[in-house]
Amino acid sequence: MNYLKIIALLLFTVLPFKSFPQEGLTHEIGLVAGRIEFRSDYGQRGDTKTNLNNTGFQIGFVDYLNFSYVDYVNNYFKEHFKVRNELTYIQADLQHYGEWTEKNTVPSKQLKEMRGSTKLVNLGFQLEFNFIDIHRFEKTPGGFLPYISIGPQISYYTATASSELGELGNPLTTYPKYLTPSDGRPHGYSNESKAVFSAAINIGTRYKLTPMSDLMLDLRAQAFGSDWVDGLNPNQDLYPENKGNDWLTFIGLGYVYYFE
């Protein structure tokens, strides 16, 4: 039921954009997929192996509202702005890397053998600014249309934490700081499914493939309003090095088709 409530809330958030008079308003439908790097409490901050290995994938459907043929909209706005509605799915596998996993000690082995995963469904919208006139791009085969967009998301995540040594929650299998109660949970880890607000910013470019279709290169940074999205959140009063919320980066390719 919580999942359905989240979708309903976001539909009510996005639908006001559909309430514009429809004459001249066009839609563009697209599919975007690519690789993510998940920045979280797994691994050592700034460690190359952490950043390269705590990865996953993202796939999303996008619906652009194009105002460029609408008479009642300001000319500059309709030549440079679109509204991007989207539904995306993200999945990532997580593990500890870095110098604290490489020592010949029991705590290091406990860290090294921890495993995590997170799965997310995101629903939201962005206001997109295009750096070149939209009509000019549409009439330029082989042309490029660079853009930047920003907007809110609601993300529903399912996070799991486990260990190859056995069940988490006891001193034999669990790194000490994850045994301490944190943020209303009995431990610094949690297997849970919850909703959280997030914000996303995208930059990229389109390439005019045909009069009715584009290819797209899309880069994103997405920041979550929670530190539990990865399933880990050590007590921040005792372990301030983990106080930052989870976030991710994404790079992907997409295909967009124009509806008249």
Q: Tell me what the mean pLDDT of segment 58-87 comes to.
A: 91
Q: Tell me what the mean pLDDT of segment 1-16 comes to.
A: 45
* Spatial contact of 248 and 222, defined as CB atoms under 8 Å apart: yes
β-strand partners of 154: 123, 197
- Of the pLDDT bands very low, low, confident and very high (cuts 50, 70, 90), residue 5 is very low
User: SS3 for 148?
Assistant: strand
When mean pLDDT is compared across 21-35, 83-97, 139-153, 230-244, the lowest value belongs to 21-35
Considering only CA atoms, which of 38, 13, 202, 248 is closest in space to residue 123? 13
β-strand partners of 83: 65, 127
d(CA 52, CA 34): 14
Amino acid at 4: L
User: SS3 for 173?
Assistant: coil
Q: Tell me what the mean pLDDT of segment 11-18 comes to.
A: 44
In the block, which residue shows the tokens 């406990």? Answer: 110
Residue 16 confidence (pLDDT) above 80? no
- Of the pLDDT bands very low, low, confident and very high (cuts 50, 70, 90), residue 48 is confident
In the block, which residue shows the tokens 């909703």? Answer: 195
pLDDT on residue 64: 96
pLDDT on residue 99: 87
Q: Are strands 192-210 and 144-163 parallel, antiparallel or unpaired?
A: antiparallel
Residue 22 confidence (pLDDT) above 60? no
- Of the pLDDT bands very low, low, confident and very high (cuts 50, 70, 90), residue 51 is confident
Q: 228-255: string of b/e by CB count within 10 Å (b at 16+)?
A: bbbbbbbbeeebeebeebbbbebebebe
Write down the pTM of the prediction: 0.87
**pLDDT by residue (tens digit) across 232-258?**
999 988 988 777 899 999 999 999 999
- Of the pLDDT bands very low, low, confident and very high (cuts 50, 70, 90), residue 56 is very high
CA trace torsion 188, 194, 197, 202 (10° rounding): 90
pLDDT on residue 96: 94
Which element (helix H / strand E) includes 65?
A: strand 55-66
pLDDT on residue 218: 98
d(CA 200, CA 198): 7
pLDDT on residue 44: 84
d(CA 207, CA 184): 49
pLDDT on residue 42: 92
- Of the pLDDT bands very low, low, confident and very high (cuts 50, 70, 90), residue 18 is very low
* More confident: 241 or 16: 241
* More confident: 188 or 13: 188
Amino acid at 99: E
* More confident: 235 or 5: 235
- Of the pLDDT bands very low, low, confident and very high (cuts 50, 70, 90), residue 6 is very low
d(CA 144, CA 55): 29
